[in-house]
Every structure is written in C-alpha cells, then in structure tokens.
Amino acid sequence: MTMQSYKLTYFNMRGRAELPRHIFAYAGIAFEDRRVEWNDWPSIKKRLVGNSKLAEAQADALVDTLNDFTLLIPWREDNPQIKTQKIDMLFQSHAPKLLDHLQCHLGDREWLVGDSETWADLYCHVCFTTFSVLRPGFADDHPALCGLIDRVEAIPNVAKWIQSRPTTEF
C-alpha cells in the first residue's frame, strides 16, 4: 500500500484554508502547506471566470443558483420511499424553474457567460450529471442546455478526465 500525501494550496494567509489545516493537524496527518502570494496568482489562475467583472459575477451567480438546487436534494434521507417522494417533488416543482432560468440565460450562445467556457459551464455539467442519475432525461425539454452539456463533455481535457475518473454513482 502506498503512502498518501496531501498538498493544500492556498494564499499566504489563514483564510478558508485554515480549517483544513486544523483538521490535518488534529488528525496527525502530514501535508504540504503550499502558499501562493497574491502577486503570483494571476499567472497561476486559469481564466474560467469570464473576461470582465460582470462576467465573473454572472458565472458566480449561476453557480450559486445550481448549488441552491443541489442543496435541496434529500441526500441524507434514510427512508427510500420518502427520499423518492422528496426527489419527485423537487424535480416537479423546482427543476422546471431552474432549467427555464438557465436556458433563458444561455439564450442562443454556446456558453452560459460570454463567448468562452467559464466555471459555470463546468459546474452545470457536474450538476446535470448528478441530476441525471436522480431523474434521467430531466433536461430533455431544454435542448440548448443539453447542447451545452455536450460541448463541455467535448472539451478535450474534460473528456479525458471523464474517461479516466473512477466510476461511481454520484
């Protein structure tokens, strides 16, 4: 069995990385604490936020919208019948509004924000993959969104990851 090693990369500050650092310390797990200086960040960061502050805000808002829906999924419901009922109600009452909102925002463009991929497109794909397990065909009445999902899957590095990742239900 090989030893696992962990690398935590964050800015040279406590911030959001401090809790994981505490957890590693508490558990007695060694990790590499990689710190990035603010001045170095632009050369490291991949441009997935859009090409303006407005585009960045739009991408963030779309991700938040998808996340709001995802948080409504009754992941921890132990009773399978109740879980199925709650999922059915969620996909009947909330999913159509979510899909209409996303489709309206996408319009006739290829990507959700601007003229190139953003993290909102990637997150939409991640969410739709999960939603499709819970409700196959849930987005079939929204062909533009299905096209977006196909375009994300066609990004060479994303396609490579999808082909090589471990197979899991979610």
Q: What is the mean pLDDT of residues 64-92?
A: 98
**What domains, with CATH codes, occur in the chain?**
7-44 (3.40.30.10), 53-164 (1.20.1050.10)
| Beta-ladder partners of 36 | 11
Residue 47: active-site member = no
Q: What is the 3-state secondary structure (H, E, C) of the chain?
A: CCCCCCEEEEECCCHHHHHHHHHHHHHCCCCEEEEECHHHHHHHCCCCCCCCHHHHHHHHHHHHHHHHHHHCCCCCCCCHHHHHHHHHHHHHHCHHHHHHHHHHHHCCCCCCCCCCCCHHHHHHHHHHHHHHHHCCCCCCCCHHHHHHHHHHHHCHHHHHHHHHCCCCCC
From 16, 26, 76, 165, the catalytic residue: 16
From 26, 38, 75, 76, the catalytic residue: 75
Please report which confidence band the pLDDT of residue 1 belongs to, taking 50, 70 and 90 as the band edges. low
Residue 119: active-site member = no
Mean pLDDT across the chain = 95
Residue 10: active-site member = yes
Longest CA–CA separation in the chain, Å: 53
From 10, 21, 135, 151, the catalytic residue: 10
pLDDT number for residue 150: 98
Task: Enter the tokens of residue 49.
Answer: 């936020």
pLDDT in tens, 9-50: 999 999 999 999 999 999 999 999 999 999 998 887 778 988
The whole-angstrom separation of Cα 38 and Cα 11 is: 7
Q: What is the mean pLDDT of residues 71-81?
A: 97
pLDDT in tens, 95-132: 999 999 999 999 999 999 999 999 999 999 999 999 99
Q: What are phi and psi of 10, to 5 degrees?
A: -160, 175
Model confidence pTM above 0.85: no
